[in-house]
Amino acid sequence: MSEMYGKGILKGLGVTLKRFWDTYWEDAVWLFRQVTRGERRYRSPEGIAHRASKNTRGIFTVQYPEEKLPVPEEFRFVPFLVYEEGPNGEKVMRCTSCGICSRVCPPQCIWIVRTTDPETGRPIPDPAEFYIDIDICMNCGLCAEFCPFDAIKMDHDYELASFGRSVYDKEKLAKPVSYYESIRPLNAARENAARAAKEAARLAASAKPEA
């Protein structure tokens, strides 16, 4: 056996040295880019994008919370309820309290009280109470996936640390459509188009018998 002792250690040190060197080499490259194109390596979207790309070299980490990795559109954390703004700025919940989300939720953390008409006793498609036990939610996204009214969606906000138990009520869960469209533009556009097509089909179908 002709093993040369110390070779592995030298090689290992070499790899580490190369990474160390790469970090500063990249810094120099970016310094050049900063001067010529105004692009910065740290605390800038282009710098973070580069560090998360296949060409990343040297330092790889992101200095959270000063720097944050952007989240992709499909990213999911906890659910929220989508409301549309009425003509006078009132909140019109999309939710019809159909209960599908609470039935599909694996850890059963969605609680919905349906509103009933005090006179007829019949249910009104608007939740009286809507609770999600955020500490129990497993962030699976099934509620958003199977809600037939696009009324519950997964949020991008992941900074939810708190000292107590987090149970969100209807107020806390409600967020405007504009917010939803800002975090998930492609999904929202797709859903709006599908809804518009459905609406058009419905109108066409209801117009037919009269004709």
- Site for ligand SF4, rule CB under 6 A: 79, 95-101, 105-107, 109-110, 112, 132, 137-143, 147, 149, 151-152
Cβ nearer to other proteins, comparing 139 with 178: 139
Judged by CB under 8 A, does residue 63 bind other proteins? no
Q: By rule CB under 8 A, what count of residues binds other proteins?
A: 52
Partners of 168 in the beta sheet?
Answer: 132
- How far is the C-alpha of 83 from the C-alpha of 100, rounded, in Å? 18
Residue 154's DSSP bridge partners are: 79
Contact stretch for other proteins (CB under 8 A) within 48-56, 81-89, 173-181, 200-208:
48-56
If we measure between CA atoms, which residue out of 92, 91, 50 comes closest to residue 69?
Answer: 50
Quick one: which of 66, 37, 67, 34 has its CA closest to 52? 67
Look up residue 22 and give its two tokens. 């790469």
Q: Does 83 bind other proteins (CB under 8 A)?
A: no
Q: Which stretch binds other proteins (CB under 8 A): 36-44, 68-76, 175-183, 203-211?
A: 68-76
Q: Which residues of 87-97 are buried (b: 16+ CB within 10 A; e: fewer)?
A: eeeeeebbbbb
User: Shortest distance, CB of residue 141 to ligand SF4, whole angstroms?
Assistant: 5
Contact call for residue 16 and other proteins (CB under 8 A): yes
Q: Provide the minimum distance between the beta carbon of 39 and other proteins in the complex, in angstroms, as a whole number.
A: 21
Contact between 122 and other proteins by CB under 8 A: the answer reads no
Taking every pair of Cα atoms in the chain, the longest distance, rounded to a whole number of angstroms, is: 95
Q: Is 149 in the site for other proteins (CB under 8 A)?
A: no
Residue 58's nearest CA partner among 14, 22, 15 is: 22
Give dist(CA 175, CA 102) in Å, integer.
19
Short-list 130, 200, 131, CA closest to 167: 131
- Residue 153 pairs in a beta bridge with 80
Minimum separation from the CB atom of position 146 to ligand SF4 (A): 7
Residues that bind other proteins (CB under 8 A): 3, 5-9, 11-12, 15-16, 19, 52-54, 56, 60, 71-76, 97, 99-100, 102-106, 108, 110-114, 123, 129, 131, 133, 136, 138-142, 145-146, 154, 165, 167, 186
